[in-house]
Structures are given as C-alpha cells and as structure tokens.
Amino acid sequence: MDVSGADQQTAETILRRAIVEPGSFGTEEVSRMLDLFESRDQTVRLSASWALGLVVSVTPEAVAGSVRALASLLESEPESRHGEIIRALGYVESEYPELVREAIEEFELDDDGAEKRIISAFERFEPSGEGNVTMTAGAATEYEGLGAVAPSSESTETPTTGEEPQRGHPPREPPPTPPAVDVRRGAFEPVATEGAGSHVKLWQVTYETDTATHTALLKQLRHPAPSAFDAEFTETLDEWQSIDGHDAIVPVVAHGTIPRPWFVVEYQEGRRLSERLGSLSRREARWIADRVVDAVCHAHGAGVIHSGLTPRNVIFSRTYEDGAWAYPKVSNWGISRLLCQLTALPMGVPPRYAAPEQAAPEQYGGIDAATDIYHLGLIVYELLAGRLPFEDQPGIVLRKAATEQPPPASQFADDLPEAVDTVLAKALRKSKLYRYDTVRDFQTELRRALGRGSA
C-alpha cells in the first residue's frame, strides 16, 4: 500500500474516533483498520495499532475475527513493519491469548520467537521517543521528533539504575552557549552522525567563528516538504531564536530551507530528562521543575508556545563547575506543530503526554498556551511523584486523558504537600478554561506550594 494523504487522513480519523468512541467499531471497520498496517509510513501503522488497542479493550469481540488476518501480516509484510503488527497482536493477546497462539502456529511464525515478542509487547511497550524505553521491534518513530537524537551505539554513558549519586547544588552560573551565525548549510562540518528518524537526519557538526571552533547539532529534513512548509518552518525557527536568550532554552545557532529545511542548535552533552526520571533526588527534581517552568514562562511572555513539551525535550548541558548539577534546557520549540504536517499522527506528542485537546480536539478545542500549561503539569507531576497520572497502553491512556481526572500526585509520593496536589489538579484540568490563566500564575503557586514563596 503506497503512502498517501488518504492513508494519513484515514489513520488520523480512526485514531480520534477510537479515543472518543471505541465501542462504535464493528468487525468491518476493524478489517479496514488492518489495511493501514500495510502502509510504508510508520506513523500510519502506529495510529492503527493504538486504535486497535483501544477497540479491543472495550469491544474485544469486534477484533476476534481479525486475529488471523492480523497475524498473517507478519508473513506477508516486510520485517521493518512488524513492530506495529506485533504491538497490535500484543493488545489482542491480552483478551484472546488462545486465538493469537493458534494464529502463530497456523502461520508457523514461532520459529523467530514471535509468540514471546507478542506476549511481552503488551506489558513492555511505551511509545518510542519518551522515557528510557527499548522498542520491541522496528526503528525510532516520528514521536522522537525533529529534534530527537537516537541513542548512540558508541555512547560511553552508563545507564542509570536506581538513585544516582547526588552532586550538591545548582550551578552558580549557567553554562556558556555557542554564538548564533548567519551562514549557509555548507558552513557546518559534520563530525558524526547522531541518528535519523522517518523525517529527519541528525549530525554532530562544528563551525568556525573569529574566536573559536564550536560544536553543534544539525538537523535536516530527509524528504521534500510541501511548498507552504518552508515559510512556516522559517517563522517557527525565528520565534524559537527570539526566546533562546533564556538560560533554560536550547539556543538556535542557524537555520535555513536550502536544499531542504534544516536548523542547527547547541549540542548538549548530557542526557534527556526522560532518561533521568527515577534517579533524581527530591531537591534536584524540584530545581529542574522550576527551571523548565521558568523557561516556558519566559517564552509565553514573548508570545511563543511550545505545543509539544515532554521530558524528552528537556536536555541537560554540562556546567563545567565542580559539584554542580547539569543544567536543563528546553528544546524543539514549535517543532511538534511542524511535525504534524508530515505525519498521520494528529497529536505531535506520545499518547502518555497528550493533553485532552490533543486526544479529543472536537471536544476540547485546539492547541494553545493552555496546552503548554497542561504539559508542564505532567512534567512536574512525573518529577515529583515518580510517575505519570495515567500509565497504561497508549490507546487507553489517550481515553483517560480525555475522560478521567488524574489522581493526586501525593497518592504516589507521601511527602508531597497537599498544596502541590491542588496546583497540579488545576494545571491538569480537562477544560482549558479551568487551567491557570498564565504560566506565571502556575509558577507562583507551584513555588508557594513547594515552600519557595514567589521568589
């Protein structure tokens, strides 16, 4: 099946309908859903797998008759497309283990351990691009975004296990940043390939100024984009560059659209917040939360919204100061809005970080500054409580984001003040009208709840 605008529109429509009305799918609609697993576009297949997971959790009988057809795709489709098929079978296996097992045996698929991968997929899978996650199969997805860097196979960093040794204090000064330059794409010398997704290639590069040689990260679209994309891309990068004087915002070095849209940002040597969650002391977690909130407060004051805040977009920079914590910086400002134009996924963030208006826009409206407040609420919640309010398979998380109120953060962290629950509950309200009016209001009340006053 060729990738087309029709495929993407169908995938988006099916996923949104599955979020709002999972019980409305019958066997014929499920059968049409299976066609999407033949798409070459991974985001189309992801949408189909999440939608199928939602349907099977509410009306499993609608999916039962399609198990054999779904399993047969593992035989007929290229291995590069197996990840989403296995994920979907994992969801079905939770309801119909015998049907899935029989289908595996019928197609003689168990030689490569397919059954084990399917059974584990339901429990192990989290959306790629968020958290310290290993994919069950397949390459990195679009949810890693235009600014994501795939983990390097040559990395010398040791994965964190448990509480990491605590270094004493916040840095006295933020780390120095590289200067912006007005140059063409060819002025940047590639040093190493950092990774690639469906829409972007990434390189570590160097560039020269009058005073020094600087290291940066270059990101360029892999494929031609619609003609209108260039103008919006330039506007988005100009907006990001207009706010990057803040210490907790990744600075833009340069950007352009020839030969294809590209941009260069400061190279961060540290890990992402998504990789450090669960290993932070309470004190450092609160400091990181304050820095991230302050960055968004600064951006909103200049009229710039992020629209895709997640822990993966918070990256740490070395501070060059003994005994100081790494400095968090927020990256990819406005990038998720651009990404949505190139993918079938309607949200621009992984399901576990979707705001209600991203999960069900017909009910809650479009993305705006209040969406950033919701995302900040999720990041702070995860930093302080050690987990997100909703943790389940992606489709179910999307439904909960649109229909259920998050549990208090103190339910998962006894030492959190009740005032913090109140602040986070308001930031995470379903209706945008009942969240904080501004990030500044959220920042003031969060600091007060954590015992910092308004300073």
Q: Is residue 144 in some structural domain?
A: no
Q: Please give the residue range of the domain that contains residue 45.
A: 5-125
Residues 240, 284 share a domain: no
Q: Which of 266, 291, 324 is the C-terminal boundary of a domain?
A: 266
Q: Which 3 state secondary structure label does DSSP give 415?
A: coil
Distance CA 362, CA 39 (A): 26
Does one domain contain both 370 and 245?
no
Task: Find all residues with CB under 8 Å of 263, minimum gap 6, and list them.
Answer: 218, 219, 237, 252, 254, 255, 256
193 and 296 belong to one structural domain: no
User: How far is residue 109 CA from its own chain's centroid?
Assistant: 32
User: Within this chain, do residues 280 and 238 fall inside the same structural domain, yes or no?
Assistant: no
254 lies in the same domain as 285: no
Same domain, 261 and 286: no
Alpha helices in 340-430 (DSSP H): 356-359, 361-364, 369-385, 394-403, 418-427
* 28-41 pLDDT, tens digit each: 888 888 999 988 88
The answer to the question of residue 261 being in a domain is yes
The whole-angstrom separation of Cα 224 and Cα 144 is 19
- Asked whether residue 116 is assigned to any structural domain, the reply reads yes
Same domain, 286 and 425: yes
Do 204 and 118 share a domain, yes or no?
no
Instruction: Say if residue 354 is in the same domain as residue 389.
Output: yes
Tens digit of each residue's pLDDT, the chain (455 residues): 344 567 878 888 888 888 878 888 888 888 888 999 988 888 788 888 888 888 887 888 888 888 888 888 888 888 888 888 888 888 887 777 777 777 777 766 555 555 455 544 444 333 333 332 222 223 333 334 444 343 333 333 333 444 444 557 888 888 888 889 999 999 999 988 776 666 788 999 999 998 899 999 999 988 777 778 999 999 999 999 999 999 999 999 999 999 899 999 999 888 899 999 988 999 999 999 999 999 999 999 999 999 999 999 999 998 878 888 999 999 999 988 887 777 655 567 888 899 999 888 888 998 999 999 999 999 999 999 999 999 887 778 888 888 889 999 999 998 899 999 999 999 999 999 999 999 999 999 999 999 864 43
* The total number of structural domains that make up the chain: 3
- Dihedral-angle region of residue 454 (phi above 0 means left; psi in -120 to 50 means alpha; beta otherwise): alpha
Asked if residue 164 is part of any domain, the answer here is: no
Query: Could you say which of 231, 266, 301 is where a domain stops?
Result: 266
Beta strands in 154-197 (DSSP E): 189-196
